[in-house]
Structure 1
Amino acid sequence: MTVRVMLISPAMNAALREARFAGDASLDDSGLRQTRAAADTLPAADRALHGPSLRCTLTADALRIDSTAEHALRDWELGRWKGARLDQVSASEPDGVAAWLADPATSPHGGESLLELCARAGAWLDSLDDSGPGRVLVVVEPAVVRAAVVHALDLPPQAFWRIDVAPLMLTELSGRSGRWNLRCGRPLTPGQGS
């Protein structure tokens, strides 16, 4: 059965601007304005979900999506690094950050490894086969979008670091477990994209 999964990254917030690890915070005024302006640009969907973070929940609300929180779509669990800025962690734990970036099986922060994140996102994606065909609209953190793309295209885990996901970007995967196609991201802003 063919499924179309439309992944939307949440709007900008202060934690994203400050390059914080899993910085779950409210949307800032700019992010909220952009999200509300994009509400009429959403594709049609049969069902809608969102990651459980505050940022995903508020983005879904501002987009006027009637969606349900899905725990499997939570942000990357980064243990003791959660909420810290990348530059701070790089200064205090340079060897840990280097290992984390180089080895997808390591988790020096005490949370999930990259391999575990990709497996979790992939298991959720593949589970959609059981729910029948249709169009699924999902608001999820950029790390989850990247992990889903890595899984769907059977890319090496290191490709995760080479995928950019901007705020309010729509990335589409269509197909089924073992055979997914990617439509690269387009902005959810009026007058841009197609």
Structure 2
Amino acid sequence: MGLRVTLVAAARSSSLLAERFDDDRPLDAAGWYEVQCAAEALVPLGGAELRYCSPTPRSRATGEALGYAPLAQPALRECDMGRWRGLTLAEVAALDPASVDAWLGDPRSAPHGGEPLLAFITRIGNWLDTRPADDGATIVAVAEPSVVRAAFVYVLKAPPATYWNVDVRPLSTVTLTGRPGGWHLQLEPAPRPAPVMRPYTPGP
């Protein structure tokens, strides 16, 4: 039967264009609203035997708001972006376009002085492969979207460049089943906001 690991992407802390490398800002108003809308679908995942989160403010806040009381896992931190920490991709590209091209084109490169993409993917994979191996164990982890993307690439044994083609929406989930070295992946859609119910008004 193996393990069942569900990764929940953290709610947002900024708009997509305003996202910064190694962003440590808390949830914004839109993020809190999304958590409230998704709670009905995601709260039951808190029944997992083990509950974790990335050590970022928005991951912690998402897990706490959903009632998971998660344990922060240093191994689930975002990729170390070195000198680019706190900058947006557009800002880095304007300052040093050649370095951005090298980073996007070679998963072993680290022009920012931090962690290469390949090392990041391997770190996330190692975390998965060292989870308790009891058959039937269930785990939920609220993680940064980048961490979910890295897990996706690792589990599928896809080329590292696949990382750039994976889009992870806030509060979407990925469920992994199996055991170290033999994972299967199941995608779930992001929960949609509950419709606003208006009182029925009979016609004339």
State if a TM-score over 0.5 links the two structures: yes
- Aligned counterparts of 1:132 and 1:107: Cα–Cα separation in 2: 38
Q: Percent identity?
A: 39
Determine which of 85, 100, 115 is the counterpart of 1:97.
Answer: 100
Cα distance in structure 1, aligned partners of 2:104 and 2:152: 18
Residue aligning to 2:162: 159
Return the offset for 1:141: 0.6
Offset at 1:16? 4.4
Counterpart secondary structure, 1:88: helix
Deviation, 1:189, is 3.7
Q: Is 1:174 matched up with 2:172? A: no
Deviates more, 1:177-186 or 1:49-58: 177-186
* TM-score (norm. length: structure 2): 0.88
Quote the Cα distance in structure 2 between the aligned partners of 1:141 and 1:132: 27
Residues 15 and 189 of structure 1: is their aligned pair in 2 closer, same or farther, counting only changes over 3 Å? closer
Larger radius of gyration: 2
Q: CA RMSD in A?
A: 1.8
Aligned to 2:9: 9
SS at match of 2:19: coil
Hey, what does 2:130 align to over in structure 1? 127
**CA displacement 1:88-135 (0-9 Å, x = unmatched):** 100101011000000000011111101110110000000015465411
Q: Using the TM superposition, give the Cα deviation of residue 22 of structure 1 relative to its aligned residue in structure 2, in angstroms.
A: 2.0
Q: 2:78 aligns with which of 75, 79, 83?
A: 75
Q: Take 2:155 and 2:93, find their aligned partners in 1: how far apart are those partners? A: 30
Contact kept? 1:105, 1:113, Cα under 8 Å:
yes
Tell me the amino acid that sits aligned with residue 143 of structure 1: S
Tell whether 2:70 aligns with 1:51. no
- Runs (5+) with no aligned partner, structure 2: 196-204
> Unaligned 5+ residue runs, structure 1?
none
Distance in 2 of aligned mates of 1:16 and 1:137? 25
Whole-angstrom CA distance in 2 between matches of 1:65 and 1:170: 15
2:76/2:124 contact within 8 Å kept: yes
2:4 is paired with a residue whose SS is strand
CA distance in 2, matches of 1:16, 1:79: 21
Instruction: Please tell me whether the aligned partners of residues 55 and 72 of structure 2 are also in contact (alpha carbons under 8 angstroms).
Output: yes
Residue number in structure 1 paired with 2:139: 136
User: Which stretch shows the higher mean deviation, 51-60 or 183-192?
Assistant: 183-192
Q: Contact between 2:176 and 2:184, CA under 8 Å: does it hold in 1?
A: yes
Q: Deviations over 1:55-87 (max 9, x none)?
A: 101111111212111111111111111110111
Q: Which residue does 2:120 correspond to in 1?
A: 117
